[in-house]
């Protein structure tokens, strides 16, 4: 089979002819219909310091977002059968540790950091072996190009809805970050009935996509300094009910926490390594602002919420799909994701 393989611990990847994956008793063999490139794949492709944490062994087939059909099942597979149309959660989980027993399988203690397509061969190939435990059965009516995006869309759903104050109806929502996750979150917030959605980003083309998918107001961070931006935001929102930090920048996080009204909620999804300092803890406690770190998706709660949104007809994520290539042209896909100015949303690969 054809596959995109990381062959060296260095930038790049190669299209190679690889043997069909052997499935273990608890795995299914999936014929991949469509896959999509994630920001993590770009880190791995470029082989920057963030990628080196994930990939321990080469050669390895890249990719973790997909939609496909089961063509073979291992002896122990019980709930899925040949012909099922599936996608997958990417975080492995044991089902037994304290986190798993408390509805937090996405941060499983035993399988910490084990992710499909990062810790093992992935789906940028004609076929992939996937454990039953992480498979998700798709609605047959869901287009494969949308089904492959459920994994990143799940990040956006979890971030937008948070952990417990799940109702966005009538709320004022502020999003930092115009990467695919931020754009998808704008769509989710609107579909969930937000009164208005403001998105702050840095790339004109992406801000246009944000407008198409659900943002009522978009602001270009590059055209304003931080003080101007904050005064504009405070002016627009008079205090936002909910802010989502999806840019991974200290600046955005500081602005986000200042822009949330007292008692409001801030979801932190973006990753950076800067210190996170609350200057005056007394003031913060009295503000009753809730800060929620978001990683991965709640398994399977977020998947069910994502399904509900896609099936409701209220959420159309097609504006986020900006490029499609046959798998053989994967290099064009990675180029589209890295070129400046940034114009890409999600890039689809078709084996
Ligand atoms: Zn992903
Ligand atoms: Zn566990």
- What separation in Å is there between the alpha carbon of 24 and the centre of ligand 2? 20
Least confident piece of the model among 14-18, 90-94, 97-101, 238-242: 238-242
Please classify residue 318 by burial: count the beta carbons closer than 10 Å to its beta carbon, then call 0-12 exposed, 13-18 middle and 19+ buried: middle
58: which DSSP letter? S
Active-site residue identified among 7, 43, 73, 90: 43
- What separation in Å is there between the alpha carbon of 237 and the centre of ligand 1? 31
Q: Which positions ≥6 away from 207 have C-beta within 8 Å?
A: 178, 199, 201, 215, 218, 220
Ligand nearest to the CA of 98: 2
The average pLDDT across 168-195 equals 97
- Mean pLDDT across the chain, nearest whole number? 95
Going by DSSP bridges, is the β-strand pair 346-350/321-326 parallel, antiparallel, or unpaired? parallel
The average pLDDT across 179-191 equals 97
Helix, strand, coil percentages for the chain (3-state, nearest 5): 35, 25, 40
Between CA 244 and CA 235 the distance in angstroms is: 18
Query: How far, rounded to the nearest angstrom, does the alpha carbon of residue 85 sit from its chain's CA centroid?
Result: 21
Q: Which positions ≥6 away from 152 have C-beta within 8 Å?
A: 36, 38, 65, 180, 181, 184, 346
The tens digit of pLDDT for each residue in 15-41 reads 999 999 999 999 999 999 999 999 999
148 is catalytic: no
Least confident piece of the model among 146-160, 270-284, 307-321, 332-346: 270-284
Q: What is the pLDDT of residue 164?
A: 66
The average pLDDT across 98-106 equals 96
Ligand nearest to the CA of 122: 1
What is the number of residues in the chain? 351
> Which numeric CATH code is attached to 2-149+317-350?
3.90.180.10
- Asked whether residue 203 carries a pLDDT value surpassing 80, the answer given is yes
106 is catalytic: no
Q: What is the pLDDT of residue 89?
A: 98
- Asked whether residue 261 carries a pLDDT value surpassing 80, the answer given is yes
- What separation in Å is there between the alpha carbon of 93 and the centre of ligand 2? 5
Q: What is the pLDDT of residue 268?
A: 97
Name the token pair of 45.
Answer: 């492709």
The tens digit of pLDDT for each residue in 221-242 reads 988 777 788 788 887 767 899 9
8 Å CB contact between 61 and 120: no
Q: Where are the domains of the chain?
A: 2-149+317-350, 155-293
- For residue 196, the surrounding DSSP H or E stretch is strand 196-201
Between CA 114 and CA 110 the distance in angstroms is: 9
Instruction: Return the sign of the alpha-carbon dihedral for residues 47, 53, 330, 150.
Output: negative
The average pLDDT across 248-266 equals 93
Least confident piece of the model among 47-51, 122-126, 299-303: 47-51
- Topology of the domain comprising 155-293: Rossmann fold (3.40.50)
Task: Measure the CA angle with vertex 117, ends 114 and 159; round to 5°.
Answer: 70
Between CA 244 and CA 248 the distance in angstroms is: 11
Ligand nearest to the CA of 114: 2
- What separation in Å is there between the alpha carbon of 231 and the centre of ligand 1? 34
Between CA 184 and CA 105 the distance in angstroms is: 23
% pLDDT > 90, the chain: 86
% pLDDT > 70, the chain: 99
- What is the Cβ-side half-sphere exposure of residue 140, based on CA atoms within 13 angstroms? 2
Q: Which positions ≥6 away from 235 have C-beta within 8 Å?
A: none
The average pLDDT across 77-101 equals 97
């Amino acid at each position: 089979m054809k596959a995109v393989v990381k062959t060296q611990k260095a930038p790049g990847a190669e299209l190679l002819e690889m043997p069909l994956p052997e499935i273990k008793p608890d795995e299914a063999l999936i014929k991949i219909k469509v896959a999509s490139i994630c920001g993590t794949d770009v880190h791995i492709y470029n082989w920057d310091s963030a990628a080196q944490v994930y990939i321990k062994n080469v050669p390895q087939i890249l990719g973790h977002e997909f939609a496909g059909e089961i063509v073979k099942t291992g002896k122990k597979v019980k709930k899925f059968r040949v012909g099922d149309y599936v996608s997958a959660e990417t975080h492995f989980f044991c089902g037994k540790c304290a986190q798993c027993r408390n509805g937090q399988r996405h941060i499983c203690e035993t399988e910490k950091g084990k992710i499909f397509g990062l810790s093992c061969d992935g789906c940028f190939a004609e076929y992939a072996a996937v454990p039953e435990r992480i498979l998700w059965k798709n609605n047959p009516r869901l287009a494969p190009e949308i089904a492959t995006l459920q994994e990143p869309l799940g990040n956006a759903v979890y971030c937008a809805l948070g952990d417990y104050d799940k109702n966005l109806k009538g709320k004022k929502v502020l999003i930092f970050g115009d990467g695919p996750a931020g754009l998808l979150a704008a769509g989710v917030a609107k579909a969930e009935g937000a009164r208005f959605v403001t998105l702050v980003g840095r790339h004109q083309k992406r801000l246009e996509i944000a407008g198409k998918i659900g943002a009522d107001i978009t602001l270009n961070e590059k055209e304003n300094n931080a003080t101007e931006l904050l005064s504009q935001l405070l002016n627009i929102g008079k205090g936002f009910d909910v802010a989502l930090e999806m840019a991974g920048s200290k600046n955005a996080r500081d602005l986000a926490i200042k822009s949330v009204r007292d008692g409001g909620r801030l979801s932190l999804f973006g990753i950076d390594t800067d210190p996170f300092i609350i200057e005056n803890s007394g003031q913060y406690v009295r503000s009753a602002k809730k800060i929620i770190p978001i990683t991965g998706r709640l398994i399977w709660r977020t998947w069910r919420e994502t399904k509900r949104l896609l099936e409701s007809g209220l959420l159309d994520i097609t504006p986020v799909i900006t490029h499609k290539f046959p798998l053989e042209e994967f290099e064009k896909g990675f180029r589209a994701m890295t070129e400046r100015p940034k114009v890409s949303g999600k890039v689809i690969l078709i084996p």
